[in-house]
Homo-oligomer: A and B are copies of this chain.
Amino acid sequence: MQSDNPTAAILVIGDEILSGRTREGNAHHLAGVLSATGFDLREIRVVADDQDQIVAAIRAFDKSLGGAYDLLFTSGGIGPTHDDITADAVGAAHGAIVEVNEEARAMLQARYDRIGVEMNENRLRMARVPVGATLIDNAVSAAPGFSIGNTHVMAGVPEVFRAMVAWLIPQLPGGRPTQSDSVEVRRGESEVAEDLKAVALEFPDLSLGSYPFQNEHGWGTNLVVRGLDGARVAEAMATLRERLDL
C-alpha cells in the first residue's frame, strides 16, 4: 500500500508474554487505532525485561536515535517492582539520566491522598522518568507514561495502556486514515488467487489480502482491500466482485 503517512513501531516489554503466561493485546489495540488515525505501523517486537534487548530495540526503531521509524510506542515495565526497568532502559537508549519527576510525583501524591495510602519508595519508582521527557496522562491509576525523542512509553496493564493511547494519539500529527472494504466468499484461497492477483496488479496503490477462515458452514476466504483513498478502494472492490461474479 502506497503511503506517506508517518511510520511507527510498537515495542512490547515483558517476560510474561514470552513465557506464554499472558496473551498480548495492547499491540493489537494500538494497531487498530494507528490505522484509523493515519499512522503506518511497520513492526511489532516483543522482548524480555532485559535492558540490553530494550535499548537495542529503541535504537533500531526511534528515528531521533538513527532508527528506522518516525514513532515508537512501548508497552510494559513501568510499574513499581524490581522487574520494571523500562524507564531506565529508555533513559539509557536516549542518553538521559532517570530521576524522580516532580510533576509525576505530584500526580501520584494527589491520587494517594485521595485513596488514603502512603507514598513509599516503591510507589515513588513510578515517578522516575528520563530528564527531558514529557508526561503521558494516566486517567486510570495516575502513574504517568512519558515521551522522549520519538519514543512514547506506556503501561502494560491493558486498561491503563488504552487510557494512555486515548490521551496521546490525538496529540500526534497523523496522516490519512486507512480505508478498507472486505467481502466473504465461500471458496478456497487458491480458487480466488488469480483474480485477486490481477486486481492487485491493476491497483498497485492499494493492498489486497485474502484470509482463509473455517466455521460451522465450512471453509471460506475473506478478501480485504485497503488503501488511503476511499474511492480507489471502492473501485478495486467493484472490479474484484465483477471478476468473481459476486
Contacts and interface: CB of A to CB of B under 8 A. Distances in A.
Interface of A: 1, 12, 15-25, 27-36, 41-49, 53, 79-83, 117, 120-123, 125-126, 157, 159, 178, 180, 188-194, 196-197, 200, 207-212, 214, 224, 226
A116 to B, nearest CB: 13
For this chain, the copies found in one complex come to 2
B43 A45 contact: yes
Contacts of A32: 20
Given A19-B35, A42-B53, A81-B197, 12 more contacts: A16-B209, A18-B41, A18-B43, A19-B180, A42-B47, A79-B190, A81-B189, A81-B192, A82-B193, A83-B200, A83-B208, A123-B190
A192 B80 CA distance: 9
A210 B79 contact: yes
28 contacts: A15-B207, A16-B224, A19-B41, A19-B226, A20-B30, A20-B31, A20-B34, A20-B36, A21-B211, A43-B45, A43-B47, A43-B48, A43-B53, A45-B46, A49-B209, A80-B189, A81-B189, A81-B190, A81-B192, A81-B193, A81-B209, A82-B193, A82-B196, A82-B197, A121-B194, A122-B191, A126-B190, A157-B214
